[in-house]
């Protein structure tokens, strides 16, 4: 397309001050009146130009799935029969939650084996209700000898403690409780299933807690009365078979 625009030729005069001579001189502005020519290529010319392979920047790249995508596609086929987008997303969630669950279990196990568990579950203090101060294996203790030794020294309070610990040892051997240093009387009462044994255990526990935890000094006569309660409970334990 050929376009021709007409314009007029004119001069615009403006006064300009000459700073050197301080005289006013005219300055002439001239307008461009030349013709503007526009060229438009034909459709055929455009097709020939843009069909050049050097100008073809569009490339078709085949996208291949990576190892992770290939794994989830295989897994979704195994789990659901076909690898649709929804199934692959579900397979991803199953894997992620499984990994998170395993990691959480491992973390809990490691924490339970470390000292950091005390931040969540403080260590039980050695009180009259538990045996955290006991560093011996129960199987290596001769309870009768310990009881006789305390009786000979007149330490009836210590003798009562050995009597009570002997009861716990016998209950553990009979499978009625699971002995642990940190456990208290309440823990063992929950473990006992037989009502008769539970009542007998309450009786000897009351004696032990009153004398040992209360730090009361007892005489030989009082000790003999309490020993009857422990002997009766020993017989009850063995009567259970």
Q: Model confidence over 196-221: pLDDT tens digits?
A: 999 999 999 999 888 887 767 788 99
Return the DSSP state at 212: I
Q: E strand or H helix at 70, and its extent?
A: helix 67-80
Cα(133)–Cα(120) distance, rounded to whole angstroms? 22
Structural domain spans, the chain = 67-116, 138-239
Q: What is the pTM of this model?
A: 0.47
CA atoms of 195 and 187, how far apart (whole Å): 15
In this predicted structure, the answer to whether residue 231 has a pLDDT above a threshold of 70 is yes
The rounded mean pLDDT for the chain is 75
Q: How confident is the model at residue 56 (pLDDT cuts 50, 70, 90)?
A: low
For 85-119, the pLDDT digits (tens) are: 676 677 777 877 888 888 888 887 777 655 444 44
Per-residue pLDDT of 113-126, as tens digits, reads: 554 444 444 444 44
Under 8 Å between Cβ of 177 and 193: no
Question: What is the reported pLDDT for 230?
Answer: 93
How far apart CA 24 and CA 16 sit, in angstroms, is 6
């Amino acid at each position: 397309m050929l376009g021709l625009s007409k314009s007029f030729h004119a001069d615009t005069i403006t006064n300009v001050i000459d700073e050197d001579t301080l005289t006013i001189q005219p300055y002439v502005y001239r307008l461009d009146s030349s013709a503007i020519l526009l060229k438009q290529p034909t459709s055929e010319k455009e097709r020939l130009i843009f069909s050049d392979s050097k100008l073809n920047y569009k490339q078709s790249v085949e996208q291949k799935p990576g190892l992770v995508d290939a794994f989830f596609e295989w897994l979704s086929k195994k789990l659901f029969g076909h690898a649709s987008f929804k199934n692959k997303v579900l397979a991803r969630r199953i894997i992620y939650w499984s990994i998170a669950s395993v990691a959480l279990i491992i973390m809990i196990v490691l924490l339970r084996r470390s000292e950091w568990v005390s931040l969540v579950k403080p260590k039980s203090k050695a009180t009259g209700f538990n045996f955290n101060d006991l560093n011996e294996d129960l199987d290596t203790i001769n309870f009768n000898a310990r009881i006789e030794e305390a009786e000979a020294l007149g330490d009836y309070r210590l003798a009562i403690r050995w009597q009570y610990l002997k009861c716990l040892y016998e209950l553990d051997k009979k499978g009625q409780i699971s002995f642990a240093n940190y456990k208290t009387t309440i823990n063992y009462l929950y473990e006992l299933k037989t009502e008769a044994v539970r009542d007998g255990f309450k009786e000897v526990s009351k004696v032990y807690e009153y004398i040992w935890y209360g730090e009361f000094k007892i005489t030989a006569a009082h000790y003999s009365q309490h020993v009857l309660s422990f002997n009766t409970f020993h017989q009850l334990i063995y009567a259970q078979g």
